[in-house]
Copies of this chain bind each other. A is one copy, B any other.
């Protein structure tokens, strides 16, 4: 092997892509980070993490689950040490970036992200003072035990019971049947010493619905499970090998009365159930969790996949487009551009959407905290559900498109792409199954629609429902279709039509005497379609608005406008039927959209590598042999493969055994 000269510089095939970008790459990075200062902070945090060997994951593709789990615990502990050492506040910018860089590869995600915040939210001062410091110091590790074997998204169906016994001022926890076993909670399988158990509260013979209780499940001395507690890991998953998602059985487990989180409701010593205030704030937390998921997990998965696939596509040469010349970079094939560039545009579209949605969240938070005004909550909730469903679906499909666009090497774990897919695919079912999410959005849309008909005012994000319903798209040549007013109008029309369509079918069924629940179920396919169209309109609109705010940065506005147009037109082509159906667009107009979209692919080609460079992921974050900055895909595949445990020893004994038996 020594006869080949291995390269140390940058692969010329990728270097040449970077020589003359049409825009200042760093400015796009700043825009994505939220400003140059934040870019600097992020890079500072990353350099600290990348230079600490505890955080290194060079061997990530070769470890067993147990090894991966143990690594994630080591990283979690090390991160806490670092944070203390460097004085990073728990909710500070540095910590946020650190958690984002390490993601699910650091343990205690549920402990930090759900257990502690929920106690802060649903607990009273005394409870917060007792539990939170212990948890923050990792003296105890907590999980959030809600989902059961038999019930997930449908919370009312949860079966675990907590019964108050006034005689000894204790709650008694039980699980009536096998399907009641708590199943899936993260950090539960091996780590947790405590669980926040969500269960049906019974007192004075009456069920008061779901409440949260702190239950110790393992010994703080030797980590063995306590009496009445059976706990373990639920086994391997499609990804998240490092997370100890667990099961928990509680049989006749007693906890003191004080362990019920009682900011919004309480059981008095005599067993009287007292409700105080509304726990609607809980919905707001759910929305926040989902929003964080978008920017921390879902969108970055697609962004990383784009980086890997686009870089690989300029160093992979295959076949000759033009006879007699060098083999062609695969990114120069139209099919490859058609696979990858719409994904790249989607990353930007979703990033800007998530930013705007975060701003909306903060605004609602102020309304709630300052005025106790919960009126925007339904809108926020509906939009968060619909966006979570759409973004997780689209990003999953997009990552897989990028993976397949890398051919055989995209099937190797070393490419980094399979893990990106198997991880992001989980987001389609966790934090609310996507179909259920879409139908929640649709329910809100149906409520809004009835407001339109009764002349009531509409929340801002759906105000377009009462706008004029245009019937014909006005584009007549292909350049018309890259005009934002033309395509936003088209998306608006489609959303209006599909929402009204679903409402109409629902009404018709009800008027024909069909029962409410049957009508709803029979309309569910249309309702989901309507929810998607609403979200897509919102995203296109938001991209266009974001671009108009960028007018003071013409150097980057131009290239991003191309991506905005590409996102919009690719979406029209992918859902063309819905634009043609009622004649809003004609087949001929669609041909113009197609021609226009092909032109945009050509525009993006020259900046493609610089655009993914702008995401500014270090090689340590990509974990990809084929997507590294220097473009030495083959060399790195070869080097990494050597480290595989399969290469550790020659299976001599096995082969002796083999040859002797035949």
Say if the beta carbon of A340 comes within 8 Å of chain B.
Answer: no
A408 touching B147, Cβ below 8 Å: yes
Q: Mark A143-172, 1 if CB is under 8 A from B, else 0.
A: 000010111111011000000000000000
A429 touching B411, Cβ below 8 Å: yes
Within 8 A of B (CB), among A425-442: 425-426, 428-430, 433-435, 439
A249-B1 contact, Cβ under 8 Å, with A429-B407, A580-B581, A646-B244: yes
Q: Which residues of B contact A418 (CB under 8 A)?
A: 237-238, 422
Say if the beta carbon of A62 comes within 8 Å of chain B.
Answer: yes
Q: Which residues of B contact A61 (CB under 8 A)?
A: 235-236
CA–CA, A86 to B79, complex, Å? Answer: 61
A524 touching B147, Cβ below 8 Å: no
Q: Which residues of B contact A643 (CB under 8 A)?
A: 235
Q: Which residues of B contact A577 (CB under 8 A)?
A: 576-577, 580, 590
Say if the beta carbon of A605 comes within 8 Å of chain B.
Answer: no
CA–CA, A110 to B122, complex, Å? Answer: 60
Smallest CB separation, A353 vs chain B (Å): 23
B77 touching A658, Cβ below 8 Å: yes
Say if the beta carbon of A638 comes within 8 Å of chain B.
Answer: yes
A647 touching B237, Cβ below 8 Å: no
B525 touching A659, Cβ below 8 Å: no
Q: Mark A518-531, 1 if CB is under 8 A from B, else 0.
A: 10011011001000
Q: Which residues of B contact A651 (CB under 8 A)?
A: 70, 190-191, 223
- Give the segment of A16-24, A90-98, A284-292, A317-325 that binds chain B: A317-325
Q: Which residues of B contact A236 (CB under 8 A)?
A: 61-62, 412-414, 644
CA–CA, A184 to B422, complex, Å? Answer: 22
Q: Which residues of B contact A641 (CB under 8 A)?
A: 232-235, 247
CA–CA, A338 to B528, complex, Å? Answer: 12
Within 8 A of B (CB), among A309-366: 317-319, 321-323, 327, 333-335, 338
Smallest CB separation, A46 vs chain B (Å): 23
A412 touching B235, Cβ below 8 Å: yes
Say if the beta carbon of A53 comes within 8 Å of chain B.
Answer: no
Within 8 A of B (CB), among A175-190: 177-179, 181, 183-184, 189-190
Q: Mark A6-32, 1 if CB is under 8 A from B, else 0.
A: 100000000000000000000000000
Say if the beta carbon of A120 comes within 8 Å of chain B.
Answer: no
Q: Which residues of B contact A125 (CB under 8 A)?
A: none
CA–CA, A178 to B473, complex, Å? Answer: 54
- Total identical chains: 2
CA–CA, A137 to B662, complex, Å? Answer: 7
A646 touching B517, Cβ below 8 Å: no
Smallest CB separation, A529 vs chain B (Å): 11
Say if the beta carbon of A652 comes within 8 Å of chain B.
Answer: yes
Say if the beta carbon of A80 comes within 8 Å of chain B.
Answer: yes
Q: Which residues of B contact A521 (CB under 8 A)?
A: 321, 333-334
Task: Pick the contact of A223: B138, B232, B652 (CB < 8 A).
Answer: B652
Within 8 A of B (CB), among A612-662: 634-635, 637-638, 640-648, 650-652, 654-655, 658-659, 661-662
Q: A597: nearest residue on chain B (CB-CB)?
A: B525
A233 touching B646, Cβ below 8 Å: yes
CA–CA, A137 to B411, complex, Å? Answer: 32
Q: A176: nearest residue on chain B (CB-CB)?
A: B4
Say if the beta carbon of A69 comes within 8 Å of chain B.
Answer: yes
Say if the beta carbon of A57 comes within 8 Å of chain B.
Answer: no
B178 touching A638, Cβ below 8 Å: yes
Within 8 A of B (CB), among A79-93: 80-81
A234-B412 contact, Cβ under 8 Å, with A73-B658, A179-B634: yes
CA–CA, A154 to B646, complex, Å? Answer: 29
A4 touching B178, Cβ below 8 Å: yes
Say if the beta carbon of A410 comes within 8 Å of chain B.
Answer: yes
Within 8 A of B (CB), among A495-536: 515, 517-518, 521-522, 524-525, 528
**Contacts A66-B648, A224-B650, A235-B414 supplied; 20 other A-B pairs, CB < 8 Å:** A61-B235, A77-B658, A149-B637, A149-B638, A178-B635, A190-B646, A191-B651, A223-B651, A232-B642, A232-B646, A233-B644, A234-B644, A235-B643, A244-B646, A321-B518, A333-B524, A338-B525, A411-B426, A525-B598, A581-B587
| 14 contacting pairs across A/B (C-beta < 8 A) | A1-B249, A4-B177, A65-B644, A81-B662, A190-B651, A191-B655, A222-B650, A223-B655, A232-B644, A235-B414, A235-B643, A235-B644, A411-B429, A422-B422
